[in-house]
Structure 1
């Protein structure tokens, strides 16, 4: 079967003899895999594993399913509480970097990480539920709720999904600060405003992972407000302490997604996508077959292409 594996810093389509994944896992026919900024970073760091953690596929009986692509040990107190994102083994199981991911024709997944795709969400769009869950979790940690205003800094897929999650979680006002024209077009399609001149917000979601976006987040925040960090700082952070102190900022760092109040956040995010089909229509800007995975990764890494979310259609 065909798979996309890292090789000397680039993705290559290879033949594999057996379905990768967990030996005792459920065998899924994979349908689609999204390309994440993490995948691009894994290639940069020289991964030789099969890529892919934004995944959707089908059971043997054809039922479309989501793959919750963040794993823990499954036995510790945190995992039993549903907070597997905080398990000490989660990062050591990162799909595509620490072990094989699911950008392959068939993939074995632990049964407790397989969920039916909600009615109304096409399996071809369902890989978007994984980054949507990342955004959902960060927005929830930040405190988006009725009676509160939310600003998002960063117009990539995580930022756009964070704005949609803040809307769904009931924030009174949601705005997004974006850089590129195509990001503003998506913002408008999702009914999200722009920060008003001089306006300050209760919660700011930093979704770009750069020093400038962090500074902009502080500028937009009300004194005593909360900044939730969705952006990833691979090379560490140089915190602007004086600016943070001046507003007594609460800084919350978000780690993936988990279970909350008896529900899996990935399912909540998938239900949001099912209820609002304009979200995947706006965010999935490019689709490529598995054979053209190298071109898919090139497009995803080149901002001049206008790509927001690029997916590889496995079957």
Structure 2
């Protein structure tokens, strides 16, 4: 089968590789759609910290936002998965440690991440092997575009839940990329008043297309009480700004990661009695994202600017947008093309 392989920093190519055979407890999925994520781009450039710590290494097959049809099951896996459209959890814990048994498999010390770490092959390929325990069934009417947006949606939903907003409370989201826009969609669906802050007016255009009338730059941001702030940016200075802007006794949620270390003043955290939460992974938000997409309360499809074949992935990883792409921040890959 064909798969995208990262062979070193800045090097990616489509290769012919052996198709997966399901191990006991695994299924094989024919991938219909896979999203290109900022993590994939960091793995491509070599900037991802896992490459320095030894948790990831080249050659590497990326792709952790996906959906597809189950076409084979291994020994011990439920055969009722055959023929079903599914997506899956990126975070694969050992299943035996205290963290896994407590439902925190996403922070298991021995966790593998599909398409990211410990050599687990990803979904930017025609087929993917994945543990059946990681699967989430998708309703038959849900199209592949939404199916491949469940993983980033689960991350965004977890961030919104951590913000702890009550009906009508005001949320400020720093960053207008995929996670920031998804967080705004989930917050609006839950009854919150969602505002977004972008670098400039151009970065706020997609928010306006999605019907968000409260889009600001730092210069235009009004002095309103922000009951919660979500930092969904990759800017090293914005974690401190989030803490500065949030209301006393409010909540700050950190889901963005900057390339350089960021700092906050813990005295501000204490003296404002602020609750700060970090979000890693979509695991606990996947089911909720599927439900929101299925019932129509959140439509994330406008975030996808273009869908390319597998051969177009390398160019996307360099940061270049394909010709004719729409305004959305997300690029999808159809590995069957």
TM-score, normalization: structure 1? 0.87
Per-residue deviation at 1:152? 0.6
Which residue of 1 is the match for residue 98 of structure 2?
77
The aligned runs of 1:45-84 (5 Å cut-off) are 45=46, 47-60=58-71, 61-84=82-105
Contact kept? 1:145, 1:166, Cα under 8 Å: no
Q: Deviation of residue 23 (structure 1)?
A: 5.9
Alignment partner, residue 204 of structure 1: 229
Indicate the residue corresponding to 1:32 in structure 2: 33
Q: 1:211, CA displacement in angstroms? A: 2.5
Post-superposition offset of 1:245: 4.8
Call closer, same or farther: CA 1:56–1:36 in 2, change over 3 Å. same
Secondary structure of 2:280's partner?
A: coil
Partner of 2:207: 187
Q: Whose Rg is larger?
A: 2
For residues 137-176 of structure 1, the aligned pairs below 5 Å read 137-171=158-192, 173-176=193-196
The alignment status of 1:131 with 2:152, answered yes or no, reads yes
Distance 1:242 1:209, change over 3 A: farther
* Superposed CA RMSD: 2.6
Q: Which residue number in structure 1 is paired with residue 287 of structure 2?
A: 267
CA distance in 2 between partners of 1:21 and 1:161 (Å): 33
Q: Which residue of 2 aligns with 1:223?
A: 248
Q: Pick the aligned partner of 1:297 from 317, 333, 337.
A: 317
* 2:156/2:186 contact within 8 Å kept: yes
Return the TM-score normalized by structure 2.
0.81
Determine if the alignment matches structure 1 residue 103 to structure 2 residue 104: no
What's the CA shift for 1:162? Answer: 1.0
Q: State the secondary structure of the residue aligned to 1:52.
A: coil
The 2-side partners of 1:202 and 1:21 are apart by 47
Name 2:258's counterpart in structure 1: 233
Shift of 1:217: 1.8
Equivalent position of 1:262 in the other structure: none
Residues 21, 187 of structure 1: alpha-carbon distance in 2 compared, 3 angstrom cutoff: farther
Shift of 1:181: 4.2
- In the other structure, the counterpart of 1:252 is 277
> Is residue 2:135 matched to residue 1:114?
yes
Q: Which moved more, 1:123-132 or 1:242-251?
A: 242-251
Distance 1:162 1:141, change over 3 A: same
Gaps of 5+ in 2: 52-57, 72-81
| Equivalent-residue separation in structure 1 for 2:175 and 2:22 (angstroms) | 33
Pick closer, same or farther for the CA change 1:278–1:114 going to 2, 3 Å. Answer: closer
Report if aligned partners of 2:145, 2:301 keep a CA contact under 8 Å in 1: no
**Separation in 1, partners of 2:191, 2:105:** 26
Please state how far the C-alpha of 1:121 moved relative to its aligned partner: 2.5
Q: Which of the two has greater helix per residue? A: 1
The 8 Å contact of residues 118 and 271 in structure 1, kept in 2 or not, is answered as: no
Where 1:191 maps in the other structure, the secondary structure is coil
Counterpart-to-counterpart distance in 1, 2:332 and 2:194: 27
